[in-house]
Structure 1
Amino acid sequence: MLRCKMEVRVFQSFDETASPSQGPGRLQALRDVLQSEALDGFIVPRADAYQGEYVAPCDDRLAWLTGFTGSAGFCVALAERAGVFVDSRYRVQVKAQVAADFTPLDWPEIGLAEWITESLPNGGRVGFDPWLHTLDGWRTLRNKLNAVELIRCSNLIDQIWTDQPEPPVGPVFAQPLELAGEPHGAKITRLAATLGRAQTAVITQPDAIAWLLNIRGSDIPRNPVPHGFALLHSDATVTLFIAPAKLTGLGDHLGSQVTVAAIDAFPAAIAALQGPVAVDPASVPVAIVDMLETARVAIIEAQDPCQLPKARKNEAEIAGTRTAHLRDGAAMVRFLAWLDRQPPGSLTEIDVVCALEGERRATNALRDISFETISGTGPHGAIVHYRVTKRSNARIEDGHLLLVDSGGQYVDGTTDITRTVAIGTVGDEERTNFTRVLRGMIAVSRARWPRGLAGRDLDALARVPLWEAGLDYGHGTGHGVGSYLCVHEGPQRLARTGVVPFEPGMILSNEPGFYREGAYGIRIENLIAVREAAAIEGGTVPGMLSFETLTYVPIDRRLIVADMLTGPETDWLNAYHMTCRDMLTPLVDGAARNWLMAATEPL
Structure 2
Amino acid sequence: MYQSFDVTARPEQGPPRLALLRQAMVQAQLDGFLVPRADAHQGEYVAPRDERLAWLTGFTGSAGFCAILHQSAGVFIDGRYRTQVKQQVAEAFTPVPWPEVSLTDWLKEQLPQGGKVGFDPWLHAAGEIARAETALKGSGIELVQCDNLVDQIWTDQPAAPVQPLTSHPESLAGESAGAKIERLAQTLSTSGQSAAVITLPDSIMWLLNLRGSDVAHNPVGLCFAILHASARVDLFVAPEKLLHLDTPLDPAVSPHAPDRFLEAIGQLNGTVLVDQATVPQIVVDRLGDRVQSGSDPCLLPKAKKNQAEIAGSAAAHIRDGAAVVEVLAWLDNQPAGSLTEIDVVKKLEAFRRQDDQLREISFDTIAGTGPNGAIMHYRVTEETNATLQDGHLLVLDSGGQYLDGTTDITRTVAIGTPGDEERAAFTRVLQGMIAMSRLRWPRGLAGRDIECVGRMPLWLAEQDFNHGLGHGVGAYLSVHEGPQRLSRTSAIPLEEGMILSNEPGYYREGAFGIRIENLVVVDKAPALPSGDADRDFLSWRTLTLAPIDQRLIVADMLSKDEKDWLNLYHSTVAELLTPLLTPSAKAWLVKATQEI
TM-score, normalising length: structure 2: 0.98
CA–CA distance in 1 between the matches of 2:248 and 2:516? 40
Which of 455, 461, 467 pairs up with 1:475?
Answer: 467
CA–CA distance in 1 between the matches of 2:246 and 2:478? 24
3-state SS in 2 of match to 1:193: helix
Q: Which moved more, 1:436-445 or 1:253-262?
A: 253-262
3-state SS in 2 of match to 1:239: strand
1:486 to 2:486 alignment: no
Aligned to 2:385: 393
Aligned to 2:446: 454
Aligned to 1:28: 19
CA deviation after TM superposition for structure 1 residue 284, in Å? 0.8
Aligned-partner residue type, residue 46 of structure 1? R
CA deviation after TM superposition for structure 1 residue 251, in Å? 5.4
Q: Is the 8 A contact 2:167 2:247 kept in 1?
A: no
Which of 237, 262, 282 pairs up with 1:242?
Answer: 237
CA deviation after TM superposition for structure 1 residue 450, in Å? 0.4
Aligned-partner residue type, residue 539 of structure 1? G
Aligned-partner residue type, residue 535 of structure 1? A
Which of 578, 581, 598 pairs up with 2:591?
Answer: 598
Alignment of 1:336-347 (within 5 A): 336-347=328-339
CA deviation after TM superposition for structure 1 residue 203, in Å? 0.4
CA–CA distance in 2 between the matches of 1:380 and 1:538? 47
Aligned to 1:110: 101
Aligned-partner residue type, residue 489 of structure 1? E
Aligned to 2:179: 186
Alignment of 1:302-341 (within 5 A): 302-341=294-333
Aligned to 2:561: 568
Aligned to 2:227: 232
Aligned to 2:513: 521
Aligned to 1:3: none
Q: What are the ranges of 5 or more consecutive residues in structure 2 without an aligned counterpart?
A: none
Aligned-partner residue type, residue 370 of structure 1? S
Q: Is the 8 A contact 2:166 2:246 kept in 1?
A: no
1:101 to 2:92 alignment: yes
Equivalent pairs: percent with the same residue? 61
Aligned to 2:163: 170
CA–CA distance in 1 between the matches of 2:181 and 2:358? 30
CA–CA distance in 1 between the matches of 2:211 and 2:448? 32
CA–CA distance in 2 between the matches of 1:279 and 1:110? 28
3-state SS in 2 of match to 1:194: helix
Q: Is the 8 A contact 2:366 2:395 kept in 1?
A: yes
Aligned-partner residue type, residue 478 of structure 2? C
Which of 59, 67, 70 pairs up with 2:61?
Answer: 70
CA deviation after TM superposition for structure 1 residue 325, in Å? 0.1
Aligned to 1:7: none
CA–CA distance in 2 between the matches of 1:249 and 1:148? 49
Alignment of 1:41-440 (within 5 A): 41-145=32-136, 146-195=139-188, 196-250=191-245, 252-293=247-288, 298-440=290-432
CA deviation after TM superposition for structure 1 residue 94, in Å? 0.5
CA–CA distance in 2 between the matches of 1:548 and 1:424? 33
1:462-516 deviations in whole A, cap 9, x for unaligned?
1110000110001000000000000000000001111100000000000000000
Aligned-partner residue type, residue 55 of structure 1? V
Which of 576, 580, 590 pairs up with 1:587?
Answer: 580
Aligned-partner residue type, residue 167 of structure 1? A
CA deviation after TM superposition for structure 1 residue 281, in Å? 1.0
CA deviation after TM superposition for structure 1 residue 431, in Å? 0.2
1:405-463 deviations in whole A, cap 9, x for unaligned?
00000000000000000000110000000000000000000000000000011110011
CA RMSD of aligned residues (A): 0.7
3-state SS in 2 of match to 1:316: helix
1:507-544 deviations in whole A, cap 9, x for unaligned?
00000000000000000000000000000113115221
CA–CA distance in 2 between the matches of 1:498 and 1:200? 27
CA deviation after TM superposition for structure 1 residue 553, in Å? 0.4
CA deviation after TM superposition for structure 1 residue 252, in Å? 4.8
Q: What are the ranges of 5 or more consecutive residues in structure 1 without an aligned counterpart?
A: 1-9
CA deviation after TM superposition for structure 1 residue 275, in Å? 1.7
TM-score, normalising length: structure 1: 0.97
CA–CA distance in 2 between the matches of 1:431 and 1:437? 10
Q: Is the 8 A contact 2:177 2:250 kept in 1?
A: no
Aligned-partner residue type, residue 79 of structure 1? H
CA–CA distance in 1 between the matches of 2:44 and 2:441? 30
1:550 to 2:543 alignment: yes
Q: Is the 8 A contact 2:165 2:221 kept in 1?
A: yes
1:331-390 deviations in whole A, cap 9, x for unaligned?
011110000000000000000100000110112221100000000000000000000000
CA–CA distance in 2 between the matches of 1:397 and 1:212? 48
CA–CA distance in 1 between the matches of 2:408 and 2:179? 30
Q: Could you list the runs of 4 or more consecutive aligned residues of structure 1 that deviate by over 6 angstroms after TM superposition?
A: none
**Alignment size in residue pairs:** 591
CA 465–211 in structure 1, closer or farther in 2 if over 3 Å, else same: same
CA 466–362 in structure 1, closer or farther in 2 if over 3 Å, else same: same
